[in-house]
Structure 1
Amino acid sequence: MLSPTLDLLCVGGLSLLVMVPLLLAGRTDLLLVSAGVQAWIGTAINMPHFMASYRLVYGSRAMIVKHQWASMYVPAILLAYMAFALWQAQESQAFVYIMITVASVYLAWHYTGQVWGMMAAYAALEGTSFNPVERRLVRTSLRILLAWHVAWFLYTQLRDPSGVTWIYQVVSAGTVVAFAVGGYGLFRFAQRTGHRPPTLSLVAWLSLFVWYAVMARDPKALFWVQIAHSIQYLAFPIRMELNGSVASRRTTRTPFQIARHMAIYAAALLVVSILVSQIVPNALMGVVAGAFGEEPGRAAPILILMFINIHHYFTDGVLWKISNPEVRAQLFAHATPA
């Protein structure tokens, strides 16, 4: 997508290099950094991956019109709900918690769906694909992990998790089944094609098991999983931007022109991310607190973040369809599959 080494690191190699030794060392505290450092790492990496998806969906009038649910309807619904939740926050935080819960459950679908997208994309880039049986086996393994993620959320976030403890334990044991089922799908791929599955597809799949092991060890380490997921994602919009930059000009662009374009792209993502992460929430918190009271003011930044998360998850589900010939053409314009 970018280069063999960068692709390997982004798709999960870097997270494996960091997380596997920490797990083997037996550490129970895996967060390692303060809240302030988390905020700035999130601003520099996690928020740009959200903004990169906005660049894709709002980058042209054609995309806005083509994907109206992603560009207009879903944001409008979320904004209306946010306004309602802020109003209700004067009396109760219940509707704020509902939005947090929706975002957290949707996150499980998003993480597992992105891993499958990575596996399919890197297979396509090597000129191969998973057949229906292999696809079903691998995706079944990912859906078991999806169930684990939802159970983990309930187990770690409910005030009294005793009612879901057995579910969490059963699904945790089920992750072994997930590994076996997915591994069998990959084995069938190797038998059919005569060679092992693409390395990047394997790394993407294995990484999710490690990410969830880290979350099971220390729930606060979800922060690092978010960062690893963001890095995994960013290779794709960066490649789309590179391909679009080259295709938009009739004359061949020099390496300097391409580098300048991508530097501007990266700087724009970072500036917007700082505004959205650091400046707008603080300003809005004061405005809302002045208008509706202290509790709605505290809820405002949380609701903004949940809005961005849910909208991003929906947008990704709409935009990234490797089976779509148009998406394949745009994403793989830089290379002819082997």
Structure 2
Amino acid sequence: MTSATVTLLGAAEVSRPPAWRARLIEFLLVGGATLVLFPLAWLLRNAVGLDPAELAVGFLTFHAASVINDPHFAVTYLLFYKDARRRALGGDIAPVQRARYIAVGLLVPLALLAWAVVALATGSARTMGLMIQLMFFLVGWHYVKQGFGILTVLSARRGHRFSPTERRAILAHCFAGWAYAWASPADPGREVSEKGVIYTSIAHPPGLELAAGIAFGVSALAVLWALARRWRAERRLPPLEPLAGFFITVWLWTVYSSLDRLMVYLIPALHSVQYLYFVWLLKRNEAREAEGPPTFGKPVALRLAVLAASAVGLGWVLLRGAPALLDGALVLSASAGESTAGLGETPYLAAIYVFVNVHHYFMDSVIWRRDNPDTRYLLHSS
């Protein structure tokens, strides 16, 4: 073996671990950490018992939300409303996409605000309950569409493109998973509580659960058929990391999210980490381009640090500070307390929480579309 060969092999050994580390980290960030947390949750439950384990995990996730879940909502506002005038009126954006920006940036929040104001003004738990149920109905759509984005974008970054037939099969599985998650379990209509609001849930008859379950199973077979067809034709499958992230998102986070009681607390954080990874990819590559000629903008690290700090701060204001201030003022006002008695002790927390969640779902449906010119940064190589 020549010295040159030894040098080349040594260089390969040095370069290989970083590549594997990067892929492993990406796998964990886009959903793979779920596979690690399931056995850890089982070990914790068996070590200390379910109730203490649930108390500890609930406490941890409640406080961790300040730097994970809440910023993931807040950063959506920072992305969506940046250069709002250009996005809504600029000629460099397709007319259909501009219409989406106007509808989601103006009409949707006005409708949600009016809905919340009516519920608060009348103290109607039923009205607020319908708004909460809209949130729960749409959350499955939001999760599966994010899973679809994980699969298609990260696969494209590795040079793997899906055919129209494959995309249709994958999307069908996404929407079938959303339907099954919402319809299951069957529910005759019962009293439930969310953020202090007690309301009657919309009935989910057993027949709907069965039909949605069958559709979910059939769509899973369609995805397997599409992947097998690609394997027979080209002897290749989508990259492991995005494929695993997709199935974890649809199966473990959406359809079977209640498989483990401790994981119920962790899934929103895992979803938020997955989302924030995509935000990091987008804004890092955008900042890298702006850092060079001809603009020679601010350093990448500074831009990302400012974005992160802004998201944490705005998240605290939206989901911690403002609700606490408003509900605190409500408690001090006897007349106001009487007018919202049907909504519990934290009506503003309930209203703002639902508003931010639902608006987040709609803003995401605009931000991450291929029509948005900014999404080109997602495909830049690292």
TM-score normalised per structure 2: 0.75
* Aligned counterpart, 1:12: 31
2:241 equivalent to 1:197: no
TM-score normalised per structure 1: 0.84
Query: 1:309-320 to 2 correspondence within 5 Å?
Result: 309-320=357-368
Selected match of 1:232 from 261, 270, 274: 274
Selected match of 2:310 from 268, 280, 288: 268
Unaligned runs of 5+ in 2: 1-20, 90-97, 192-200
Selected match of 1:82 from 116, 141, 144: 116
Query: 1:299-314 to 2 correspondence within 5 Å?
Result: 299-314=347-362
The Cα of 1:204 is off from its aligned counterpart by 1.7
Counterparts in 2 of 1:32 and 1:292: CA distance versus 1, 3 Å: closer
Give the Cα separation in 1 of the matches to 2:58 and 2:270: 18
Give the Cα separation in 2 of the matches to 1:26 and 1:178: 34
State whether residues 176 and 216 of structure 2, in contact with CA within 8 Å, keep that contact through their aligned partners in structure 1: yes
2:176 equivalent to 1:144: yes
Counterparts in 2 of 1:129 and 1:158: CA distance versus 1, 3 Å: farther
- Per-residue CA distance 1:134-165 (angstroms, 9 max, x = gap): 11222222222111211137649834999634
* Aligned counterpart, 1:329: 376
Counterparts in 2 of 1:224 and 1:158: CA distance versus 1, 3 Å: farther
The Cα of 1:200 is off from its aligned counterpart by 2.4
- Per-residue CA distance 1:296-315 (angstroms, 9 max, x = gap): 55221011010000000001
State whether residues 85 and 96 of structure 1, in contact with CA within 8 Å, keep that contact through their aligned partners in structure 2: yes
2:132 equivalent to 1:100: yes
Counterparts in 2 of 1:167 and 1:330: CA distance versus 1, 3 Å: same
CA RMSD of aligned residues (A): 3.3
Counterparts in 2 of 1:234 and 1:155: CA distance versus 1, 3 Å: farther
**AA in 2 matched with 1:320:** W
Identity of aligned residues (%): 22
State whether residues 38 and 263 of structure 2, in contact with CA within 8 Å, keep that contact through their aligned partners in structure 1: no
The Cα of 1:49 is off from its aligned counterpart by 1.0
Give the Cα separation in 1 of the matches to 2:271 and 2:70: 12
Give the Cα separation in 1 of the matches to 2:40 and 2:63: 25
Give the Cα separation in 2 of the matches to 1:23 and 1:182: 31
- Per-residue CA distance 1:101-148 (angstroms, 9 max, x = gap): 001001011111111111111122122321122112222222221112
2:335 equivalent to 1:287: no
State whether residues 50 and 308 of structure 1, in contact with CA within 8 Å, keep that contact through their aligned partners in structure 2: yes
State whether residues 57 and 64 of structure 1, in contact with CA within 8 Å, keep that contact through their aligned partners in structure 2: no
Counterparts in 2 of 1:195 and 1:233: CA distance versus 1, 3 Å: same
The Cα of 1:223 is off from its aligned counterpart by 2.9
**AA in 2 matched with 1:69:** A
